[in-house]
Structure 1
Amino acid sequence: MMNKTLLSLAIVIGLVGCNSSSSDNDDTFDLRILHINDHHSKLDATGPVALTLGGVKTEVEIGGFPRLVTKFNELQNDSTLRLHAGDAITGTMFYSLFREELPDALMMNQVCFDAFALGNHEFDDGNEQLAHFIETLKNGEDACGTEVLAANIEVPSTNPIYGIYDPYKVFDVAGQQVGVIGIDISSKTQASSSPSADTEFFDEVETSQRYIDILKEQGVDKIVLLTHYMYSNDIAMAKQLTDVDVIVGGDSHSLLADSELHTEIGFGTTDGEYPTVVQNADGNDVCIVQAWENALVLGELNVSFNEQGNVTQCSGTPHLLLGDEFINPSEDSEGVHTDEELDAINQYIASKNELSSVEKDTVTAEKLAFYSDQVDEKMKEIIGYSVALLCNERTPGSNHSSGALCVEGSEEREFMNQHGSIMANVVSEAFVDMSIRSDIAIQNSGGVRTTIAEGDVSVGHAFNVLPFSNYLVNLDMTGQEIVNTIEDAIDNVVVNDSSGAFPAAANLRFDVDMNAEKGQRITDVQARRKLEDGTFGEWHDIELTEIYVVVTNDFIAAGGDRYDSFVPVYEDDSRREDTGLLYTDSLINYIKKLEDNGETLDRPDVSEMSVQSFIALN
């Protein structure tokens, strides 16, 4: 029998990697956990973001690792664990352009996490690349002893990640033993990422209880699950387990915070309270937390334990990390706030525990700038070639300026007048290829901003086509819901003259009559499914009662551009999968994949276009 990671049940008791301290044992114990999750290679700040602070409309940067490091260090005390709940990599140019150097690992080592749980996106590029990431995190520049945890993942000794992660670790925190168990979301990792075939995944709840019991047998009575398993799953799991005290989670990108505050500032939609407290199977409290996404929030959880190791109290703050430079968005202000406005902004921030104006850590900022400067330079990198002029359009025949290279009377313009945007169809093909589980892709034409000319294609070209920071989501939809969604989008074009709502798609095709009534504008709807080997099945009349997996961007998935029929599916956690794939990055990786396979970008055949025939509005 092969040796496997899970067969080693010996507890390794070590000092907390970056925060070790010791004290005499007391009857009670106060633990502080500082945590993030799902930063998805978003290492720099977001924004400037439009906010309303103290009644003043302003714009300010939010988050980024240089600010995270400052806040982690500010909140550190002698009884602290620093935890990351997974999905560190994939999602921005900091990963896609630096798979060898891995600035994610460097930035994580500036924080100096005690433990990091593997998430599904850690497996996006396979186990060999994951092994490289773990080795860089643990042994690369500024490495500080971060433990990598995954209790419900098992690999044989021949696998690249064998022996470089553990199911759990026991940390000495101020003289107290705290067990931390890592849990990954198994089905999602297997279905939507690329773990090697010899990677086995086990049930999250059963595995958690198994290792809790092992820790209890060894006398460890303060137990933290570090999970990448979704907020709703964490809640359900906590109620089934005995002896669990804390769950620090990720995967669902849940903002747990004061809903009134976020409504007031106009940024973020909350999913629950921070912390969320439920009772485990013993009837004891479990503190559940998550810290949103993209290095925007640092979670601070404070937990008190009694002498039996049960939670007696938990409280905390999700710190939204604001910059300290505020921009006046008014047209006549030249970006400058009055002294009175700045006073109102700063007084408001000071009155809210959840808001912090945070200076960037200088060392971290300098290390990140080394890569940021290269990202700017690498925008010039050639990643592929196009053998055709990939014209862009919104509604067929509208002659939108984004397709200006495709002049009236040209073959490309005539093609678009009948079949819609060539570029939007190529983007849709990229999405359905990159999102492993999807059958169909749907994209709003307004999200595709320009044409790609014949010739070399650079990273910058891809960014010009898709300049926004949207993410891809997979939605499990019936054929009827898909038809309804396309009808919604076209209705927005007809009723509201919103040309950018016009849909493009891959593996979905139909005829359009803009003059028909809503519900009858598209006919002869056909679809294809993705086969297990990644190829596609035969075209068939869409099956209205059957389920298809649709990949789309999170803007229209949430109802943007009046894609209304997406909304109930998107809001149903059981039918939505947040892939974590940045849609610009997905287009870049698709073009690179073609290049690696000796292929080029080209205009799709008519049979591959979503619009097969088009009757314009009279």
Structure 2
Amino acid sequence: MAQTYPLRLAHINDTHSNFEPSRVQFTVNQGRQNYRVVTHSGGYARLAFHIEKARAQAKAANQEFLLLHGGDSFQGTLYFREFQGRANAHLLNLLKPDAMVLGNHEIDAGNLPVKAFLNRIDFPLLAGNMDLSHEDPLKSGRLSGHPMLLDYNTQTATANTLLKPFFNTTLAIVGITLDQMKLIARPDPDTHFIHAIDTTKRTVAQLKKQGIHHIIVLSHLGVDQDRELAAAVDGISLIVGGHSHTLQGDFTDLGLSNMPYGEQVNHTPIVHAGKYAETLGLVDIEFDSKGKAISFNGSNHFMLSADITVSESSANAQTDRSLTNKPAITRQQASRAIASMLEAHPNNLGEQENTEITQIIKTQYRPALDALENNTLTYIPRDFVHTRLPSKDYPHGSELAPWVSRSMYKAARKIDPSIDFALHNAGGVRQDLNKGRLSLADVLGRILPFELPLTLYKIKGQYLVEVIESAINTATNNGVTGTGSGSFPYPYGLKFAYDGHQPKGKRVNHVEVYQNKQWRPLNTQAHYIGVSSSYTASGKEGYDALLHAQWQKNLQSQTLQEAFVDYVSHYGEKINQALTINVQYTSHRSPPMTDSAITNKQ
């Protein structure tokens, strides 16, 4: 009988400094009624407990065990703002990962924070397509040659690879990250990123020549590019991904996604585990002697608190209620039923935790955050959902991002009253704005964790149209190699329609600017004054046409965070009002929208 090679894999990605349990929200149906359910999931103490449990189970079953991190440990919460990666390294070491791939947010502030992280971690950081051969050997943030980094090998044009014993053979782990890193992050100018698919293809071929057939690619490319990678490169045993915050699995009973966990492309399973340390991917895989997965059994798991809050959802099932004119069960009955359902849910591991890690967070890191938590800015009258891209449920996209743009506009107007619009990228907003008390910590650590100055600029109308289309093309991979959905633009004082079925260069139309208290068609030959974060104003993520601005002026005294804090502190009650719909969007994946249909929706 041919030997098989069993592996138990635990994987996480895009944890973004969420060391404590994160707030999660579900929509659950009970008694012909939809309910909104709020609770908490994950965090490092719960992750540690269940990872150790999985590790012990693997040992008892004579399986090899791996814990892999798909990148983007940095940014996201006040823990990163306060400790700049020190807490990330400390707490990740306690999880004992076998490897992590470099994410774009690790290199948001250049190479120096990456070096500090490398100096602290006990596991290798993989960046097999990061070329450091031109790096200044005398600079303080030099990464080349660091013993904890596996980067690009210029002599072989392949990734330096982590090799691990695997029963009677060898397992290779190849780390591949975004090759368009300079468009989405801020690596040092002497740091370059080689084409992800080409690097992987050469690396896999080299490993195969060496007789190594069990090859895992640890990727920070996003699920769409992981699919392209699997289709283009034969012989990858498994792709463990990150970057796109993709929750694989059927979670329709919780009002969430339904997509295959471990979907196969070209005989290669691809796994992703959501975001923010809310979920843990666990899978048992058997490989044959050639590295092909012949058995695959796993899923993503929440780690839910027993405490839940249940309220009536606005998305209710109407059919039966219209007949009875009352719910089939009471709120209390529904709450008990939902609590029981969640506790027994096959994708809920529960709230058991590693108490040692809980105490470390509580005593060493939490005190610095408490003062910010106690600073109340305002009370928000309702939930505002943040979704990066327009969708069936949110056809105009994010409910929150336009409010962030409005706060930028109001802040910039105090400096230049002639300002016409604000424009912000979806990825600059990280989470929903929830009903109830809003603290300074919520804004700085959860919703807008990036401390970016605002930038004023004067730009010709034609370039503004180019910016909008390029950002959306990049966000949706519409005919370009995208940088991710975070590129999608959300304006204030500006509105537009985008039709993804039109030829490139003609997808944006019906552009209007709000001037003198009325909407006016954009004049492509006129100049307008706008404000964005310094990140997008520098041309990142498809916003390169902003570099055609007649002038740019960084407002060092006014950051994105400060603008939103100031706005909600003074005008929090106005956030209950609806903003003008400023995004009309037709995806290139949906049926084309006629010009008349667009006009009727304006």
- Is the structural similarity TM-score above 0.5? yes
Q: Secondary structure at the match of 1:243?
A: coil
Relative distance call for 1:479 and 1:256 in structure 2 (3 A) is: closer
Relative distance call for 1:479 and 1:236 in structure 2 (3 A) is: closer
The 5 Å alignment of 1:250-265 reads 250-258=242-250, 261-262=251-252, 264-265=253-254
Aligned to 2:468: 477
Aligned to 2:10: 34
- Deviation digits for residues 87-118 of structure 1 (CA, Å, limit 9, x no counterpart): 1101211111111x621112212211101000
The 5 Å alignment of 1:309-348 reads 309-329=291-311, 344-348=337-341
Give the superposed CA RMSD: 4.7
Aligned to 1:274: 261
Q: Name the amino acid aligned to 1:296.
A: E
- Deviation digits for residues 493-538 of structure 1 (CA, Å, limit 9, x no counterpart): xxxxxxxxxxxxxxx9751434x7x979999772569467999654
Work out which of the residue numbers 92, 97, 101 in structure 2 matches 1:113: 97
Relative distance call for 1:465 and 1:95 in structure 2 (3 A) is: closer
> C-alpha distance in 1, partners of 2:104/2:489?
31
1:484 CA drift (Å): 11
Relative distance call for 1:128 and 1:521 in structure 2 (3 A) is: closer
Aligned to 2:398: none
Aligned residues: 432
Contact 1:54-1:348 at 8 Å conserved across structures = no
- Deviation digits for residues 443-465 of structure 1 (CA, Å, limit 9, x no counterpart): 99xx999xxxxxxxxxx995587
1:27 CA drift (Å): 0.8
- Deviation digits for residues 267-318 of structure 1 (CA, Å, limit 9, x no counterpart): x345x31011111xxxxx1000111111111111222212333221323111
Work out which of the residue numbers 66, 86, 100 in structure 2 matches 1:81: 66
Contact 2:248-2:260 at 8 Å conserved across structures = yes
1:424 CA drift (Å): 3.6
The 5 Å alignment of 1:148-163 reads 148-156=125-133, 158=137, 160-163=142-145
Q: Name the amino acid aligned to 1:185.
A: L
Relative distance call for 1:54 and 1:317 in structure 2 (3 A) is: farther
1:173 CA drift (Å): 3.8
Work out which of the residue numbers 208, 212, 215 in structure 1 matches 2:204: 212
1:194 CA drift (Å): 1.4
Work out which of the residue numbers 508, 511, 514 in structure 1 matches 2:515: 511
> C-alpha distance in 1, partners of 2:408/2:490?
20
Aligned to 2:288: 306
Contact 1:317-1:353 at 8 Å conserved across structures = no
Contact 2:213-2:290 at 8 Å conserved across structures = yes
- Deviation digits for residues 384-441 of structure 1 (CA, Å, limit 9, x no counterpart): xxxxxxxxxxxxxxxxxxxxxxxxxxxxxxxxxxxx99954366799xxxxxxxx943
What's the % identity of the aligned pairs? 20
Q: Does 1:131 align with 2:123?
A: no
Q: Name the amino acid aligned to 1:345.
A: I
Q: Secondary structure at the match of 1:304?
A: strand
Aligned to 1:223: 215
Q: Secondary structure at the match of 2:447?
A: coil
Aligned to 2:351: 358
Relative distance call for 1:169 and 1:479 in structure 2 (3 A) is: closer
Q: Does 1:170 align with 2:163?
A: yes
Q: Name the amino acid aligned to 2:53.
A: E
Relative distance call for 1:429 and 1:113 in structure 2 (3 A) is: farther
> C-alpha distance in 2, partners of 1:423/1:485?
11
Q: Secondary structure at the match of 1:234?
A: helix
Aligned to 2:479: none
Relative distance call for 1:564 and 1:68 in structure 2 (3 A) is: farther
Aligned to 2:241: 249
Q: Does 1:186 align with 2:162?
A: no
Aligned to 1:425: 409
The 5 Å alignment of 1:215-614 reads 215-258=207-250, 261-262=251-252, 264-266=253-255, 268-270=256-258, 272-279=259-266, 285-329=267-311, 344-349=337-342, 351-370=344-363, 371-377=365-371, 424-425=408-409, 440-441=423-424, 463=441, 469=447, 477-478=468-469, 510-514=514-518, 526-527=528-529, 530=537, 538=549, 563=581, 565=583, 567-568=585-586
Instruction: Name which of structure 1's ranges 86-95 and 41-50 shifts more when overlaid on structure 2.
Output: 41-50
Q: Secondary structure at the match of 1:367?
A: helix
Relative distance call for 1:197 and 1:375 in structure 2 (3 A) is: same
- Deviation digits for residues 3-45 of structure 1 (CA, Å, limit 9, x no counterpart): xxxxxxxxxxxxxxxxxxxxxx971112121101111112212
> C-alpha distance in 1, partners of 2:490/2:23?
34
Q: Name the amino acid aligned to 2:125.
A: V
Q: Secondary structure at the match of 1:319?
A: strand
Q: Secondary structure at the match of 2:361?
A: helix
Contact 1:38-1:88 at 8 Å conserved across structures = yes
> C-alpha distance in 1, partners of 2:161/2:211?
15
Q: Secondary structure at the match of 1:322?
A: coil
Aligned to 1:586: none
> C-alpha distance in 2, partners of 1:40/1:154?
25
> C-alpha distance in 2, partners of 1:539/1:570?
32
Give 5+ residue unaligned stretches, structure 2.
151-159, 313-329, 376-403, 415-421, 453-465, 473-487, 498-511, 531-535, 552-562, 565-577, 591-602
Instruction: Name which of structure 1's ranges 54-63 and 71-80 shifts more when overlaid on structure 2.
Output: 54-63
Relative distance call for 1:317 and 1:488 in structure 2 (3 A) is: same
